[in-house]
Chains A and B, each alone.
Chain A
Amino acid sequence: MYEFRRLVKHKSVERVHDPVIVVRGLDANFGDIIRVEMGKEMRTGKVIAIEEDLYFVEIFEGTAGLNTSAIVSSTYEPITLPVSELMLGRVFNGIGEPKDDKSKLYSNKGWDVNGLILNPYFRDVPHEMIETGITSLDLLNTLVKGQKLATFASPGLDVLSLQMQILKQSITNSKGRFAVVFAGIGLSKDEEHFILSTIEEAQVADMSVLFLNSAKDPAMEALLTPRMALTAAEYLAHHIGLDVLVIMGDMLNYSNVLRNMASQKGELTVREGYPSYLFTDLASLYERCGTRRGKPGSITQLPFLTMPNDDITHPVPDTTGYISEGQIILTRTVAHAGVHPPIDILNSLSRMMHFAVSDKQAKLSNRVYHVYAEGKKFQDIAAMMGMDVLDEEAKLFVSLKEEIDELLLSQGANENRTLKQSMRIASQIVEKAPSI
């Protein structure tokens, strides 16, 4: 830096747009966090462009209620998160401020929320499973340490209870040093309450960190929430050496905030109004997973998002699909069939699974898929033409498919199944099937 820096407060706000104000002659760097005072009110913003002596500052809380008399100063720092082991057991809002009754987190280490770039050469191929206690995942679509596996859900499904079940069971089942970081984006009051009470009841608070962004928080905070969560995860994984599972959602909310901001700023938009950089932005989040060769600690991501109108080709699920290493699909159709959690296994896939499971499990999983697909095929035929058109073997497949739905894929919101139990149930069902 070549200039001498002073903490000057500037009064030269020249223009107030939404959500950007333009300040002349501010002393600041690109990306700095900016404080804006308007009477007694304090707001926060970020320098998003500099043109000669004009500084474009995006205000997180929005610019409604501001005018050119606002007083502006720079913190000379980009957005950071103070990190320490004491984050475990804490609840923060979307920008890393305490939401529980404990004190603010102090740390001499502020980590840039845009994260570390794990060099692909030093990555290990993900090869160890995370036991979530949920059969549709563990047995059939295994979540592997270091991977990112997106979950797409029909609108209106109770995704949160599945997220909570995975959170508490994966902590309970973990044998080693394991933690969950949860990033809730655009939550309602009820949802926040449900999250906090579930975690308390299950006594897993010590090994979790929550970042809860509520629907009424300023829009910009929704964009920071996953970044805060991933920064915390990076500290815990790469600095402390924990295996960290990051559960985030709803990434549709996130993407829609991104879209709104882009359109307000007049940026280039492509499909359905989403900015041209949607892929790059989502990838900058989802790529923050992985394990390092020869080092402890890993980050696994389980982002959740709503598929608008059940449409997997909608820009947000489509873009996510290009980044994620597989996908878990939750549909209303499966929910209507009485299966909880409503995971549509035929359309779900964990691409890293084959690195992490035994031959025995791989064979059993394939067998379940085969029997289920056959059963589904004959069920569809019977739905059109009646059961009578099916021969005995076809009828057997249909009944086995129903057994899989009922006994294997359905489980209670508090039912934590070991992989062994899942495999036993599965074997008992598929061994009744005719051999291929």
Chain B
Amino acid sequence: MGYLTAIKGILVKAKGIDAKLYDLVAIGEDGFGEVIAIVGDTYFIQVFTDVTGLSVGQRVEGLGMPLSLELGPHLTGHFFDGLGVSLEEEPFYHPTIRAETSYTFDFQPTVKKGQKVGKGAIIGTVSVKEGKQELSIPIIAPPTVGGVVEELYPGNHAIRGEPIAVISGTNVELSHHWPVRQPRPFKSRVWISQPLITGQRVVDTFVPIAKGGTLAIPGGFGCGKTVFQHTFAKYSDADKKVFVGCGERGNEMADFIESMRKRGKLHEVVVIANTSNMPLIAREGSIYSGVTVAEYLRDIGYSVLMMADSLSRWAEAIREVGGVMGILPAEEGYPPYLQERMQEFYSRAGCVKTFSDKKACLTISTSVSPPSGDFSEPVTQYASSLVDTTIFLSTELAYSKMYPAVDLELSFSKHRAQFANFWESTLKGTSKSIDDLLTLIHKGFDVEKMERIVGADALSDEQKVILHIFRFIRFNYLIQNAFDPKDVYTTPLKMAYIVSSIHSYYTYLTNMLKKGGKPKFQKDVEDRISKMRYADEASCKKLYDEVKGMLGYV
């Protein structure tokens, strides 16, 4: 048996243990940690539990496996810590490793005895209740098990310890273990082709997120990063959402879970909470736990959105370990391998063909908390260079209460051009409208800066039109009230109506200029467009037709 030789806060050293790199170890009476380096006969261990009270000479024992999660039908609708242990039992948190065996489900096979099934294939379903809803969750074999179904045991089973089937001599249970740092396998990669519809106008039209893509949301404090992520969790069209509260506020998590419960949508989420007062090292693990749960849900065929709030707190945990290990820091104290770790994490997103031949996408959304709101810091820089879509939030806009405070000058999506077809099929002509309005918005930023220097009177008529429409878009399209039930979500069709209406109005004004006239702003047109975001789809269409009519497009 091994023993402790040194204790340095989050890091301890031990000798005489039998363990491999990244194996879990038990320390003292109820502590545990993870081997992060081995030098000669000394094992360096990062500790997930409290180190107060440990002393040298205490026992350390390898547990023979890396940090792993129990993946099964018990996950959705529930709340776990960063290491996958249920948080629904004790009001005061004490980190531990525990097998979750208390959940039971009624298993109904969808395969037959004697049938041949592939590795990781769907073999049946269980049903769960939320309120009055009855939901069916597929059950898959582990990705390592496939072959002939020799036995089937339908009926009620605990998730662990009771076989539901025997496949080629191997017992299969409702859940299986998977090491969190190891990406789960799938049949093949599939092209990303669909946007993730969030109902947030500025996002879906101007900086779209792809199903299977990656997103970073950097923003200083008070910019609304968390509200934004919560809105994605509540309204986006992914089937399941895995929310990882990494080093963030407990009260916000309580609010999130409460609002999902009220909406009867708890079954759509898995919450992994590692709030800022929970162990620092578990914060590092929580991100991997979250993405592993998300991969598992993808593997049973769901479209999944995994959200991490905030990736900066995860990076800080990595920095702390690097600091204690004496790793020569690169930028701002972060170890040189941070970017590589981030890349490995983001690369777990994507669209795949599962072992059951279903197309399923895993989208990763991360918030980033730059110190002093300074976007030049390493985590923001690495993240924005690695992801498909970066949505920068502006402190200035947030202070003027213009939410969501998306800074369109900096924000960018690699997928925007790709989704032209989506908008064309929603409403003909929308894709060009979006392109033109985005160009106008960028011109608008420049004209606004110029106006501050030379004054409004010195602007040309063309610039006045640009500035007018730019501001009209900002106040009637880009801002969106997350607390107004009518405004909080906009369907793509409504977005298309509004964008097309604004575009027609802009074209109308520029045509007027081309003919040598002075621009005449149309208050009745503007009134109608400004009502569209609060209207239902039918009334929105009516307003759209009226606007088109008034501008002579009938």
Contact A321 B52 (CB under 8 A): no
Set of chain A residues within 8 Å of B90, measured between Cβ atoms: 119
Docked complex Cα distance between A224 and B88 (Å): 32
Contact A325 B399 (CB under 8 A): no
Contact A120 B276 (CB under 8 A): no
Contact B277 A321 (CB under 8 A): no
Contact A276 B52 (CB under 8 A): no
Docked complex Cα distance between A279 and B57 (Å): 32
Chain A residues 301 to 342 lying within 8 A of chain B, measured CB to CB, are: 313-315, 318-319, 321-323, 325-327
A33 to chain B, nearest CB (A): 11
Set of chain B residues within 8 Å of A122, measured between Cβ atoms: 91
Set of chain B residues within 8 Å of A277, measured between Cβ atoms: 280, 316, 320
Contact A114 B276 (CB under 8 A): no
Contact B323 A125 (CB under 8 A): no
Task: Determine if A190 is an interface residue (Cβ-Cβ < 8 Å).
Answer: no
Interface-lining segment among B140-148, B250-258, B464-472 = B250-258
Docked complex Cα distance between A139 and B105 (Å): 51
Task: Determine if B134 is an interface residue (Cβ-Cβ < 8 Å).
Answer: no
Task: Determine if A227 is an interface residue (Cβ-Cβ < 8 Å).
Answer: no
Chain A residues 187 to 208 lying within 8 A of chain B, measured CB to CB, are: none
Docked complex Cα distance between A146 and B251 (Å): 8
Docked complex Cα distance between A349 and B221 (Å): 12
Docked complex Cα distance between A126 and B252 (Å): 10
Docked complex Cα distance between A323 and B312 (Å): 13
Set of chain B residues within 8 Å of A153, measured between Cβ atoms: none
Chain B residues 238 to 262 lying within 8 A of chain A, measured CB to CB, are: 245, 247, 249-255, 257-258
Set of chain B residues within 8 Å of A268, measured between Cβ atoms: 319, 323, 329, 333
Set of chain A residues within 8 Å of B278, measured between Cβ atoms: 117
Docked complex Cα distance between A32 and B514 (Å): 81
Contact A347 B372 (CB under 8 A): no
B325 to chain A, nearest CB (A): 11
CB nearest to B372 among chain A residues: A313
Task: Determine if B55 is an interface residue (Cβ-Cβ < 8 Å).
Answer: yes
Which residue, B56, B245, B249, has most C-beta atoms of chain A within 10 A? Answer: B249
Set of chain B residues within 8 Å of A53, measured between Cβ atoms: 56
Docked complex Cα distance between A225 and B255 (Å): 30
Contact A352 B251 (CB under 8 A): yes
B295 to chain A, nearest CB (A): 24
Contact B323 A267 (CB under 8 A): yes
Interface-lining segment among A240-248, A287-295, A409-417 = A287-295
Task: Determine if A86 is an interface residue (Cβ-Cβ < 8 Å).
Answer: no
Set of chain A residues within 8 Å of B316, measured between Cβ atoms: 276-277, 279-280
Interface-lining segment among A16-24, A44-52, A390-398 = A44-52
A121: contacting residue among B58, B88, B371, B373, CB under 8 A:
B88
Contact A120 B57 (CB under 8 A): no
Docked complex Cα distance between A276 and B326 (Å): 14
Contact A287 B58 (CB under 8 A): no
CB nearest to A79 among chain B residues: B52
Task: Determine if B169 is an interface residue (Cβ-Cβ < 8 Å).
Answer: no
Contact A125 B53 (CB under 8 A): no
Task: Determine if B191 is an interface residue (Cβ-Cβ < 8 Å).
Answer: no
C-beta contact mask, B47-70 vs A, less than 8 Å → 1, else 0?
A: 000111111111100000000000
Contact A124 B254 (CB under 8 A): yes
Docked complex Cα distance between A162 and B372 (Å): 27
Docked complex Cα distance between A284 and B54 (Å): 21
A112 to chain B, nearest CB (A): 8
CB nearest to B3 among chain A residues: A2
Contact B276 A280 (CB under 8 A): yes
Contact A50 B56 (CB under 8 A): yes
Docked complex Cα distance between A277 and B317 (Å): 9
| Interface residue range, chain B | 35 or more
Docked complex Cα distance between A126 and B275 (Å): 17
B320: contacting residue among A121, A271, A276, A322, CB under 8 A:
A276
With A2-B57, A30-B51, A121-B87: A287-B250 Cβ-Cβ less than 8 Å: yes
With A78-B53, A117-B93, A276-B333: A123-B276 Cβ-Cβ less than 8 Å: no
A30: contacting residue among B54, B88, B247, B255, CB under 8 A:
B54
Docked complex Cα distance between A48 and B50 (Å): 13
Docked complex Cα distance between A204 and B483 (Å): 39
CB nearest to A56 among chain B residues: B8
Set of chain B residues within 8 Å of A121, measured between Cβ atoms: 79, 87-88, 254, 257, 273
Contact A123 B277 (CB under 8 A): no
Set of chain B residues within 8 Å of A327, measured between Cβ atoms: 222
Docked complex Cα distance between A106 and B483 (Å): 50
Set of chain B residues within 8 Å of A2, measured between Cβ atoms: 57-59
Chain A residues 147 to 163 lying within 8 A of chain B, measured CB to CB, are: 147
Task: Determine if A283 is an interface residue (Cβ-Cβ < 8 Å).
Answer: yes
Task: Determine if B553 is an interface residue (Cβ-Cβ < 8 Å).
Answer: no
B6: contacting residue among A48, A51, A114, A326, CB under 8 A:
A51
Task: Determine if B19 is an interface residue (Cβ-Cβ < 8 Å).
Answer: no
B250: contacting residue among A118, A270, A352, CB under 8 A:
A118
Chain A residues 6 to 53 lying within 8 A of chain B, measured CB to CB, are: 28-32, 48-53
B198 to chain A, nearest CB (A): 22
Contact A125 B55 (CB under 8 A): no
Task: Determine if B230 is an interface residue (Cβ-Cβ < 8 Å).
Answer: no
Docked complex Cα distance between A318 and B374 (Å): 11
Set of chain B residues within 8 Å of A117, measured between Cβ atoms: 92-94, 277-278
Task: Determine if B457 is an interface residue (Cβ-Cβ < 8 Å).
Answer: no
B275 to chain A, nearest CB (A): 5
CB nearest to B273 among chain A residues: A120
A129 to chain B, nearest CB (A): 15
Contact B52 A120 (CB under 8 A): no
Set of chain B residues within 8 Å of A125, measured between Cβ atoms: 251, 254-255, 258
Contact B53 A30 (CB under 8 A): yes
Task: Determine if B507 is an interface residue (Cβ-Cβ < 8 Å).
Answer: no
Contact B276 A287 (CB under 8 A): yes
Contact A120 B250 (CB under 8 A): yes
Set of chain A residues within 8 Å of B258, measured between Cβ atoms: 125
Task: Determine if B156 is an interface residue (Cβ-Cβ < 8 Å).
Answer: no
Task: Determine if A376 is an interface residue (Cβ-Cβ < 8 Å).
Answer: no
With A118-B92, A268-B323, A277-B320: A29-B53 Cβ-Cβ less than 8 Å: yes
B83 to chain A, nearest CB (A): 14
Task: Determine if B9 is an interface residue (Cβ-Cβ < 8 Å).
Answer: yes
Task: Determine if A354 is an interface residue (Cβ-Cβ < 8 Å).
Answer: yes
Docked complex Cα distance between A50 and B53 (Å): 12
Q: A120-B250, A325-B252 are in contact. List 19 more A-B contacts (CB 8 A).
A: A29-B53, A30-B55, A50-B56, A51-B5, A52-B5, A53-B56, A78-B52, A117-B93, A117-B94, A120-B245, A121-B257, A121-B273, A122-B91, A125-B255, A268-B323, A268-B333, A270-B332, A287-B277, A318-B221
Binding site for A on B (CB under 8 A): 5-9, 50-59, 79, 87-88, 90-94, 220-222, 245, 247, 249-255, 257-258, 273, 275-278, 280, 313, 316, 319-320, 323, 329, 332-333, 369, 371-374, 399, 483
- 27 A-B pairs within 8 Å (CB atoms) are namely A3-B57, A29-B53, A29-B54, A29-B55, A49-B6, A50-B7, A112-B52, A117-B277, A118-B93, A119-B91, A119-B92, A120-B245, A123-B251, A147-B251, A270-B333, A271-B332, A279-B276, A284-B277, A287-B250, A287-B276, A290-B251, A290-B254, A313-B373, A313-B374, A321-B222, A323-B249, A326-B222
Nearest 3 CB-CB pairings of A with B? A283-B276, A31-B52, A287-B277
